[in-house]
Amino acid sequence: MSHAITDVNAKNKKGETPLHFAALNGYYHLIELILSNPKIDIDILNDRSQTAFDICKDKPRNDWEQCAWLLKNNKPKKMEVYYGEKGSLYMFCGHNTTAEQLRDIALIELGLNQDCAKLFGIWIITPRLQLQLNLKQTVLKQLDKYNDYLDLWGDPIIPRPGVQLEISKPTICFRRNAQALVKHEEDI
């Protein structure tokens, strides 16, 4: 489910996705896994016009209540991932989506060979701080902590008389891995 080429939104004959199946059976651990996939769309309707949340929300059993809570409170965030000067990709990012998963999806979407994986990483960027994520770090968690990182490592803000202080929103970028060696590029 978390592999970059897995179609996590594939439907069966009844129009149900793996997320519908997990909700129907109360498999909250499977829902956590599925929600980590950057391509997940939790708003897909089955042939009965139900989302996965609709299937489990009214079942008064613990497992189904946990499924409903996960689907309601861990809704993946649609985010724009920038690459190059003007390009961007739109993908979903769940609370457990790692930088590695996001990078692998970007590689596929951009038509790059998996051999290029060593050359690229996921970055959180503002004018004050450019931070490359470790592949195992979860993207949304790091976005939540980013202001703390700015305070620790960001360039200082120097107030200037008559100039309005502009707070910039962090952007997610797919760009060259700072640790990539020239040898890796030559090998590819």
What are the strands of the beta sheet with 130-132, ordered from one edge? Answer: 87-93, 77-83, 171-176, 120-125, 130-132
Q: How high is the pLDDT of residue 160?
A: 76
Beta strands in 40-125 (DSSP E): 77-83, 87-93, 120-125
Q: How high is the pLDDT of residue 32?
A: 87
The DSSP result for 14-33, as a single string, is TS--HHHHHHHHT-HHHHHH
Closest by CA position to 141, among listed 98, 91, 83: 98
Q: What are 84's two structure tokens?
A: 């190059």
Rounded CA-CA distance 12/19 in Å is: 12
Contact between 98 and 138 (Cβ < 8 Å): yes
CATH topology of 18-73 equal to that of 77-187?
no
The residue that leads in pLDDT, 144 or 86, is 144
The residues, ordered by sequence, that sit 6+ positions from 119 with a Cβ below 8 Å of its Cβ are 176, 177, 180, 184, 185, 188
Q: How high is the pLDDT of residue 3?
A: 57
- What pLDDT digit, counting tens, does each position of 123-180 carry? 999 988 999 999 999 999 999 999 899 889 988 877 778 777 667 789 999 999 998 8
CATH class of 77-187: alpha beta
* Global pTM exceeds 0.85: no
State the chain's mean pLDDT as an integer: 88
Angle at 144 between CA 117 and CA 152, to 5 degrees: 90
Rounded CA-CA distance 97/37 in Å is: 6
Percent of the chain residues past pLDDT 90, beyond the cut: 54
CATH class of 18-73: mainly alpha
Give domain limits for the chain: 18-73, 77-187
The residue with tokens 């129009």 is 15
